[in-house]
Structure 1
Amino acid sequence: MNRRFGRILLSLGLSTACACALAQSPHPPAGTAPPIVSSAEGLDGETLYWTLIGEIALRQQEFGSAAQAFLLAAQHARAPELARRAAEIAAITRQNEMLNRALTLWRQVEPNAETIERFERMRAELDAQREKAVLAQLDEILRRHPEQLPNNLLGLNAALEELGDPEMARRIIELATTPYLEYPEAQLARAEAARRANDLLTARIAAEHALSLRPDWDLALALWAEILGELGETDTAIARLETYLREYPYARVVRFTLAKHLAVTPGREEESLRHLEILLANAPDDAQLLQAVALMAERTGHLDRAISALEHVISKGGDNVDFLRLQLAQLYLTAKQPRRAESVLRQITHPALEDQSKRLLAHALAKQGKIDAAFETLDQTRIVLDPTTEVLLKSRLLQDADRLEDARRWVDEAIAELGDEPDLLYEYAMILERLGRHESAEGYLRKLIALYPDHAHGLNALGYLLADANRDLDEAERLLTRALELAPNDPYILDSVGWLRYRQGRLEEALSLLQNAYRRQYDPEIAAHLVEVLTVLGRHEEAQALLKQATARSPDAEPLQRVRRWLEQRNR
């Protein structure tokens, strides 16, 4: 079940009562440490500053700021009492990430197991008290409002989100729903709770139980399909969703779920787009659908449709309009319309997007050949760049402007000044490769690996270079195996290993690896590799469909032109 639906179906009675139970102002319990600033003796200036900030924030009930301030004070002073104070505030106010950081520091500065064990026991007692109180509230609501029971059961997960603890929410929901297990809504609530707690097998069983009680329930089928997708059984989910839609073609949540599953299935992205556009036809101003259509249209090479959908969303305004402008600018750049990208980027005013928009603006300017303006724009970002990062970013701008030789000299000068930094050596090798200087590129990659033997991208680049040239495949195997160990989910490394398997004649393995890579990251070179392997396996229709889609998305990509020439020669 999409979590949005849980919120929509949440009854007023449930949300109001749970708010009362969950939103009580959390204060440190009796027996915790007194205010640290009662005595400033022994605290230096910076520690005292952050401690004061923490006390002020605590009195104003700004608990996130308070915990952060005490943690900063503890880090500076290496003081266990400050680390404990940060941990107490974070624990009571359910700031789990902050709590873990505070506990880590506390253990470092005071490796006293007994002290921390006492704190953990206190924390567990507080959790148990909170769990009991919330469960009592829910029991009362569910019993008091039998006429709203199905909706209230469906709203449990949304109501308990504020706990910030999926395992606790799951325990509460299992107990609260025990008297109502004959209701499909209770089973669905359990399924969603187990899913949020990452117990997918239990979630699947509960969702299937809900469907057995109510076989024609769109929400239950959609949640079941989402769970199967997370279990890696996407094909099974798709088959059942398609069967259901043939009988119930107006089941919008089922169609949307099917579109999501098709979107991550190589070769079926066009079907995903068609389903989304069917939904959009009945809700042409739905912002969520418009953004989904834009995403899938871009992925399938229909850039005009993607741009049109985003322009429509932006025209409606809203809180996230600047974020959408950022996406639209990226689409304009993909469509080789840098001037329009520049125009859109200059309209972005949200402070949180300032640096990101300026970096993208620099690329838009570079693609128009305005290198000086691009460099100046990059220099205007608020984040202070380290020298290596600045060199890399400006190298990419020069490459955007098709000034490869200038980019090579730029990085070469940086290596002379900054030394053999790994990322600079890698960048230099990649530029040489683009310039067609393959032997020199190989030499720099070997130098990189000799100096930095665990540089995953360097290992990958050299391994791919050898595999692509169909030589020294045993060495390529060693290099790529190590690269994959260092970065097992990197799509470009998966692509390289897949291409190596193709060179070794292990076609089914190659196909699986390349499909995995393409699913994780669109790239015209990965697409070209996949087209070639599909063709050799005799899956010509899939290969042609993929090539058409990738070409629409990246019409000038050299790897796609290369595989097209290969196909023409093969068919002669």
Structure 2
Amino acid sequence: MTSTSGNSGISQAFKQVGGEVDYYGLMQQIHRFRLIPLACALVFTTSYGWAQTAASPTAPSRKPATESAISEGELFYETLLGEITTRTGDPGAGYALILDAARRSGSAQLYQRAADIALQSRSGEYALAAAKAWKEDQPQSRDANRYVLQILIALNQVSETTEPLQQFLRQTPLPNRVGVLTAIPQMYARVSDKAAAAKVVQEAISTELSSPSLSSAGWITVGRMQLAAGNKTAAMDALTKAHAADASNDGQARLALDLMEEGNKDAEPFVTRFLQQPNASEIRMLYARVLLGQSRFAEAVEQLTRTTQEKPDLAEAWLLLASLQAQNQQLVQAEQSLSRFLELAQNTSEPLSNARVLEQAYLLGAQIAEKRGDVPAAQEWLKRIDNAEDSFSVQRMRASLLARQGRMPEARVLLRNIPERNAEAQRMKLLAEAQLLKDNQLYEEAYKIQADLLKQNPEDNDLAYEQAMLAEKAGKLDVMESLLRGIIQRQPDYHHAYNALGYSLADRGIKLQEAKRLILKALEFAPDDPFISDSLAWVEFRLGNKAEAQRLLKAAFEKKPDAEIAAHWGEVLWSQGDTEKAKSVWREGLRLNPDNTTLKETLKRLGVSL
């Protein structure tokens, strides 16, 4: 990559450098004179482009003082001329004038102004030349060094940043150095060669890594740089060293959580050990979110419940807990948690009380009411949302309520009339309509809509997966199998496809060994997913391994109480002669979802009346 490849990121990078500079502070004490001669001189000024007029990026530093002396009047003249030239459309000439004035006067403000002119014109190399000239003139200037460092990073010249980064740290007061270390990964976030950046940073902060007060923060920085580079082993090693240096640093818990999200199980003990410390509620919240992402629902609920106990005024925890409770059909508890969230949101100035979050809360209230079959209450929740007509989620919820009342044509018209701002909005509308039809068991019509979407996006594996699920519901098993095998071929780590195909084969009692291999492959990618464990249990049951199936289903249901898992677990218990336990499990499944098709069909097939 060429050295100018980072120019487009220069402006963004310098948002991190500092605030506006008083470019004219130097001139406030200079007499304002020669304006008429200056105006005359400007008439004869010729504009040139950057390549012709600007100082060379590798131009030498300022001349010795005897050759570069400049009077106040000359400084004022040259500076003002540079400013006017810049503002009248020739930044290259303006840059050259300002940089020359900076070199001759030794003014930090003019060096900075020259660099800023180049930055505003996306001329990274010229900005770097000005910053380097400034630093050479004033080697101990924190601002000059900071400009050099940030421009080098923005230009992807990572290998040259070691010394500027070391100086940046040396010049930072010791009490503030932890904060600087913490910010380093963000400073390098946009570089293209993440591995080179990780190597440079570790070398640059070697002194901090051996300091008792800074070692933990330093190793966390190294870990984050290595994780960004995709080196999970090195990141894990850095995490271990950070923990050894200071187990109370919440940065190591956050790094461990990020490693968990990348599938590293070895990082989890670092989180759980940190949670034993006081004031760990924020980390507990983040841990709950990671558990949710891993489909570890019961554990997520446990962590959120503990968070609300430890910090009962943390509104976000109550909202997330309410959402999980609603998913688990714990509707009374969900309403209580939601009520607590709203109470806290009304009495805080924190961002949680903003309209977007309140909309999510009101939608959750509507969903809870819908689950209870109380359509009027759900509609009242929706009325509390400001600008509801502009919210896709609200319109989708209204369509669901219409369908529940047997007004499916109106529901579909409502969705189709939602304005389309772009192609993605159109896609979302069609997906919402397909889901609405699927929820109401109109599988053939949903299949047709999904098929049209897939024709427009034949390589979209998520669309293909949903189409496969609808094909199965519509009785098109050959289409389903073909779609799922196509997904696996295109994206070998798409674990949902392995699971769905394996389960379908097991449910039909065919190709059971292949079904088991497919499901085990899915578990390699998502070992904690209770629904994949349910699939494995079902194939074990079909293979005659009832005890193993019963064990797997019990564990899966404990992780995620779900009506379909209950249907399978109950059938396994029933086949083992434990009819009372089976009925108890099925009753719990009906409580969770009385409309679950698998559960209802299981009871009908076995002739069970509850």
Cα deviations across residues 74-107 of structure 1 (Å, max 9, x unaligned)?
xxxxxxxxxxxxxxx9998xxxxxxxxxxxxxxx
Is 1:320 the counterpart of 2:356? The answer is yes
The Cα RMSD (Å) is 6.1
Moved more, 306-315 or 194-203: 306-315
Q: How does 1:142-157 map to 2 (within 5 A)?
A: 142-157=170-185
2:216 is equivalent to residue 184 of structure 1:
yes
**What is the aligned counterpart of 2:477 among 445, 454, 468?**
445
d(CA) in 2 for partners of 1:502 and 1:136? 64
CA distance in structure 1 between the partners assigned to 2:387 and 2:471 by the alignment: 37
Taking a change above 3 Å as real, the CA distance of residues 230 and 393 of structure 1, as seen in their structure-2 partners, is: closer
Partner of 1:8: none
Q: How does 1:212-291 map to 2 (within 5 A)?
A: 212-221=244-253, 223-224=255-256, 226-228=258-260, 230-233=262-265, 237-238=268-269, 245=275, 248-253=277-282, 255-256=284-285, 259-260=288-289, 269-291=297-319
Task: Kindly indicate whether the alpha-carbon contact (under 8 Å) linking 1:18 and 1:159 is maintained by their aligned counterparts in 2.
Answer: no
The reply to whether residue 20 of structure 1 matches residue 17 of structure 2 is yes
When normalised by structure 2's length, the TM-score is 0.53
Q: Which has the higher contact order (CA 8 A, sep 6+)?
A: 1
Q: What secondary structure sits across from 2:157 in the alignment?
A: helix
Distance 1:554 1:173, change over 3 A: farther
Equivalent position of 1:359 in the other structure: 396
Structure 2 distance, partners of 1:391, 1:299, is 24
Give the Å deviation of 1:148.
1.9
Work out which of the residue numbers 193, 198, 202 in structure 1 matches 2:225.
Answer: 193
Aligned equivalents of 1:206, 1:295: Cα separation in 2: 36
Question: What does the per-residue CA deviation read over 1:342-391, in whole Å, with 9 as the maximum and x for residues that have no partner?
Answer: 44445556799733432332122111222232122012122489999989
d(CA) in 2 for partners of 1:231 and 1:164? 24
Give 1:65-76 correspondences, 5 Å limit.
none
Shift of 1:557: 3.0
Q: Is the 8 A contact 2:503 2:519 kept in 1?
A: no
| Partner residue in 1 for 2:538 | 499
Question: In structure 1, how many angstroms separate the alpha carbons of the residues matched to 2:297 and 2:194?
Answer: 33
- Counterpart contact for 1:329–1:341, Cα < 8 Å: yes
Contact 1:499 1:510 in 2 (8 A): yes
Superposition deviation, residue 200 in structure 1: 1.8
Contact 1:190 1:203 in 2 (8 A): yes
Q: Which has the larger radius of gyration?
A: 2
Match of 1:379 among 416, 426, 429: 416
Which of these residues, 313, 322, 331, is aligned with residue 294 of structure 1? Answer: 322
Residues 137 and 241 of structure 1: is their aligned pair in 2 closer, same or farther, counting only changes over 3 Å?
closer
Answer yes or no: is the 8 Å Cα contact 2:209–2:216 preserved in 1.
Answer: yes
CA distance in structure 2 between the partners assigned to 1:173 and 1:135 by the alignment:
10
C-alpha distance 233-391 of structure 1, shift in aligned 2 (>3 A) = closer
Which among 228, 235, 241 is matched to residue 209 of structure 1?
Answer: 241
Higher mean alpha-carbon deviation, 546-555 vs 142-151, is at 546-555
Which residue is 1:3 aligned to? Answer: none
What letter matches 2:243 in structure 1? L
Name the stretch that deviates more: 380-389 or 498-507.
380-389
SS at match of 1:20: coil
How many correspondences in the alignment? 440
Distance 2:198 2:19 in 1: 15
Match of 2:407? 370
Instruction: Report matched runs for 1:108-119 at 5 Å.
Output: none
- CA distance change for structure 1 residues 363 and 135 in 2, over 3 Å: closer, same or farther? farther
Q: Which amino acid aligns with 2:268?
A: A
C-alpha contact 1:207 1:220 (8 A) present in aligned 2: yes
Percent identical among aligned pairs is: 20
Do the aligned residues in 2 keep the contact of 1:328 with 1:341 (CA within 8 Å)?
yes
Measured after TM superposition, the shift of residue 233 of structure 1 is 2.0
Aligned counterparts, 1:428-439, within 5 A: none
Secondary structure at the aligned position of 2:419 is classed as coil
Deviation at 1:156, TM superposition (A): 2.7
Structure 1 length-normalised TM: 0.56
Instruction: Give the letter aligned to residue 206 of structure 1.
Output: A
SS at match of 1:144: coil
C-alpha displacement at 1:265, in angstroms? 7.4
Give a deviation string over 1:285-320, Cα, whole Å, max 9, x none: 434323332343334442333344445545543152
Q: Verify the 8 A CA contact 1:524 1:554 in the aligned structure 2.
A: yes
User: Does the 8 Å contact 1:358/1:377 carry over to 2?
Assistant: yes
Q: 1:305 aligns with which of 323, 333, 344?
A: 333
Deviation at 1:209, TM superposition (A): 0.7
166-175 vs 558-567, which moves further: 558-567
Alignment of 1:471-486 (within 5 A): 473-474=510-511
1:513 to 1:223, Cα distance in 2 relative to 1, 3 A: farther
* DSSP 3-state at the match of 1:361: helix
Letter in 1 for 2:411: A
Aligned to 1:557: 596
- 8 Å contact 2:256–2:271 — kept in the other structure? no
Measure, in 1, the Cα distance between the counterparts of 2:584 and 2:281.
27
For 2:362 and 2:390, the matched residues in 1 are separated by 10
Structure 2: unaligned runs, 5 residues or longer: 1-12, 22-48, 52-88, 90-120, 125-150, 347-352, 459-463, 489-495
Q: Whole-Å Cα distance in 2 between the matches of residues 425 and 137 of structure 1?
A: 52
